[in-house]
Chains A and B, each alone.
Chain A
Amino acid sequence: DAGVTQSPTHLIKTRGQHVTLRCSPISGHKSVSWYQQVLGQGPQFIFQYYEKEERGRGNFPDRFSARQFPNYSSELNVNALLLGDSALYLCASSLELGQPQHFGDGTRLSIL
């Protein structure tokens, strides 16, 4: 069975641009969460979606938004990119809320 898939793998943007990151959960998983991880830190929670509804939002500015589609895939959008947005963006899926989360390989975003 396929694991969590994320695209693209790497992305280079400049300040002020916007970016869309995509995630497909493990088949049958209804919950998708997004995390930001910078070097030397643990993943920081950005959003959680379950059955297409937002179930949690971390301490990130409104430039960050996300959605979940009927097939449970998800997009993370970031507008007006800043240098500080450079990080590894991780998507994780779980069967249900509160169940163990499984991570995709991540999207490494670099802002120049």
Chain B
Amino acid sequence: QKEVEQNSGPLSVPEGAIASLNCTYSDRGSQSFFWYRQYSGKSPELIMSIYSNGDKEDGRFTAQLNKASQYVSLLIRDSQPSDSATYLCAVKPSGNTPLVFGKGTRLSVIA
């Protein structure tokens, strides 16, 4: 059973701070990793994808991948109240296996 684990939160950070969201996965052969943002009552929105070890930056978002530790994280710099949402980590395991989602971490940015 391929698993993706996230802390459900809520994670509360003040406006302007860095929010750090973490995710671990069980399949060591996983190659593709994604972060989705989901506002309450809405569908998930893809915000980052990462495929190789290291950091990938896009605006205020940075995804970090460490395959040896089976760990992927998302950093949000200069957090805004509009960033308050649930962040879903999704992992594509090896082989003909579908995308596996974590349960999500609820982020609350306090003005």
Chain A residues near B (Cβ < 8 Å): 33, 35, 40-45, 48, 55-56, 58, 88, 90, 98, 100-106
Q: Which of B10-18, B38-46, B76-84 contacts A (4 or more CB under 8 A)?
A: B38-46
B32-86 at interface with A (beta carbon < 8 Å) = 32, 34, 36, 42-46, 49
- B99 touching A45 by the CB < 8 A rule? yes
CB contacts (< 8 Å) of A103 on chain B: these are 36, 43-46
Chain B: interface residue total (CB-CB under 8 A): 23
- A38 to B44 CA separation, bound complex (whole angstroms): 13
CB contacts (< 8 Å) of B34 on chain A: these are 100-101
- B102 touching A58 by the CB < 8 A rule? no
**Chain A minimum-CB-distance residue to B103:** A42
- Given A100-B49, A106-B43, A56–B102 Cβ distance below 8 Å? no
- A48 to B98 CA separation, bound complex (whole angstroms): 8
**Chain B minimum-CB-distance residue to A103:** B43
- B43 touching A42 by the CB < 8 A rule? no
- A90 to B100 CA separation, bound complex (whole angstroms): 14
- A98 to B96 CA separation, bound complex (whole angstroms): 10
- B99 touching A105 by the CB < 8 A rule? no
- A104 to B34 CA separation, bound complex (whole angstroms): 17
CB contacts (< 8 Å) of A106 on chain B: these are 43
- A56 touching B92 by the CB < 8 A rule? no
- A45 touching B98 by the CB < 8 A rule? yes
